[in-house]
Amino acid sequence: MFIYSVRASTLRFFGILTVTACLLIGIMAFSGKDSVFAMSDGTYRFTDVSSKEDVIEFLSQFGIRATGEAVEESSVTLPETLDRVLLSYNEIQKSQGLDLSPYCKKRVTRYTLRVENYKDESLSVYANVIVYRHRVIAGDICASGEGGFVLPFTAFEAKGA
């Protein structure tokens, strides 16, 4: 026959440890990271984006009017570490309250739509929006060729509209 006794202080210690662990997990699971970014002229929402229509609505809060047809919708996996090019792209993201670094090795969806209301009609301007689990984690407004650029969403009104 085997007899084992446990003191009340041991039970209390493991009970407190369990409750603390549950609280920490709950806080991490429900913390809203990058869900709202406030600018001096307004507040932008970066959550609840799960379709092309949601992307168009998301872009409209920056004054960007995008076409209903997605030029491209693709699923990509971000690299394990950000290389030199992605680090400079991440600086653009940080200027608008976003950060790619926590999403390394994650599978994301990239939507590319044509921007209809850019002031210089000689340029083909596109909006890229990168979404992970219904949250915009990165994006830009860009044009290639002569006079090309890459801008954060928040700079569109100043430069483009």
Q: Is residue 107 part of a domain?
A: yes
Q: Is residue 78 part of a domain?
A: yes
Q: Is 137 exposed, middle or buried (0-12, 13-18, 19+ CB in 10 A)?
A: buried
For 68, the 3-state DSSP assignment is strand
Q: Is the pLDDT of residue 33 over 60?
A: no
pLDDT band at 2 (very low <50, low <70, confident <90, very high): confident
Q: Is residue 4 part of a domain?
A: no
pTM of the model: 0.72
Q: Is residue 23 part of a domain?
A: no
Q: Is residue 29 part of a domain?
A: no
Q: Is residue 5 part of a domain?
A: no
Q: Is residue 68 part of a domain?
A: yes
d(CA 42, CA 141): 19
Q: Stretch 139-161: mean pLDDT, rounded?
A: 81
What is the tens place of the pLDDT at every residue in 46-105?
Answer: 899 989 999 999 999 999 999 877 788 999 999 999 999 999 999 999 999 899 999 999
- What is the total count of domains within the chain? 1
Q: Is the pLDDT of residue 153 over 60?
A: yes
Q: Is the pLDDT of residue 31 over 60?
A: no
Amino acid 60: pLDDT: 92
Two tokens at 136?
A: 């915009």
pLDDT band at 158 (very low <50, low <70, confident <90, very high): low
Q: Is residue 155 part of a domain?
A: yes
Q: Stretch 29-39: mean pLDDT, rounded?
A: 48
Q: Is the pLDDT of residue 146 over 50?
A: yes
Q: Domain range spanning residue 85? A: 36-159
pLDDT band at 21 (very low <50, low <70, confident <90, very high): low
Residue 47 DSSP code: B
What is the tens place of the pLDDT at every residue in 107-142?
Answer: 999 999 999 888 888 888 899 999 999 999 999 999
Helical H runs in the chain? Answer: 8-30, 52-60, 84-95, 156-159
Q: Is the pLDDT of residue 34 over 50?
A: no
